Amino acid sequence: MRQGRTPEGRKCGSLGKLQLLRRSPRRALGAVPPVLMTRFDVFANPVLQVEGEPVVSVAQFIAAVPVTILSQPVARFDAAPEAITYALDMLT
Q: Which pTM value belongs to this model?
A: 0.43
Are 34 and 42 in contact by the 8 Å Cβ rule? The answer is no
Say what the pLDDT of residue 17 is: 45
Question: Does pLDDT of 83 surpass 60?
Answer: yes
Task: Please state, in angstroms and rounded to a whole number, the distance separating the CA atoms of residues 52 and 31.
Answer: 44
**Can you point out the beta strands (E) in 20-87?**
47-50, 53-56
pLDDT, one tens digit per residue, over 37-65 is 555 555 667 888 888 888 888 888 888 98
